């Protein structure tokens, strides 16, 4: 299958990964978009693990209050530089994670404490992302690491709920 500019653009729009990485993944997958997505997902996990020991010196605090006003959350999402922390997509991801926490009421374990498939689904990083249940919060973060080229981590969060 021919790898066209349009196919590369479609893959980039789906994944948010750089054009060159999309092109390489499509070449490796012989032009099959679904295989290229799987290749990019595998690479994002590998990239995230290599960047895991970098210093997190920047980030954002984001909040979400449910429309009913009965549930609210705050999340601290860290990254390496102010450049990434001030990126609108990074801020949106922090808000989306805060919204997920409001909806799913997860437990918190640090990344180094989570074992692949070894922790229950109520642990934040293992939960299917409410906006896209095909991925977990961990894979959402891994994709962001690949996209931004920096280590990213949820350092803490809190969830408040009005008792009835």
pLDDT in tens, 121-160: 668 988 999 999 988 999 899 889 888 888 899 999 999 9
102 Cβ contact partners less than 8 Å away, ≥ 6 residues apart: 64, 65, 66, 71, 72, 73, 159
> What's the pTM value of the predicted model, to 2 decimals?
0.70
Looking at the domain that runs over 58-161, which CATH code has it been given?
3.30.479.20
Q: How far lies 80's CA from each of 43, 53, 107, 119, in Å?
A: 20, 11, 25, 27
**Do 38 and 45 meet the contact criterion of CB atoms below 8 Å apart?**
no
Write out the residue limits of the CATH 3.30.479.20 domain(s) in the chain.
58-161
Write out the residue limits of the CATH 1.10.8.10 domain(s) in the chain.
5-51
Looking at the domain that runs over 5-51, which CATH code has it been given?
1.10.8.10
The per-residue pLDDT of the chain, averaged, comes to 85
């Amino acid at each position: 299958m021919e790898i066209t500019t349009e196919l590369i653009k479609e893959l980039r729009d789906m994944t948010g990964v750089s054009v060159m990485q999309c092109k390489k993944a499509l070449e490796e997958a012989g032009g099959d978009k679904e295989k290229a997505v799987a290749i990019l997902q595998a690479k994002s996990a590998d990239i995230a693990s290599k960047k895991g020991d970098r210093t997190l010196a920047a980030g954002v605090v984001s909040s979400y209050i449910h429309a009913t006003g009965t549930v609210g959350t705050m999340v601290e999402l860290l990254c390496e530089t102010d450049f990434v922390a001030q990126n609108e997509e990074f801020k949106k991801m922090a808000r989306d994670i805060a919204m997920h926490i409001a909806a799913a009421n997860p437990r918190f374990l640090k990344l180094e404490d989570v074992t692949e498939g070894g922790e229950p689904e109520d642990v934040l990083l293992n939960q299917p992302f409410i906006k896209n249940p095909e991925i977990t919060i961990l894979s959402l973060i891994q994709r962001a690491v690949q996209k931004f080229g920096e280590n990213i981590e949820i350092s803490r969060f809190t969830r408040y709920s009005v008792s009835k």
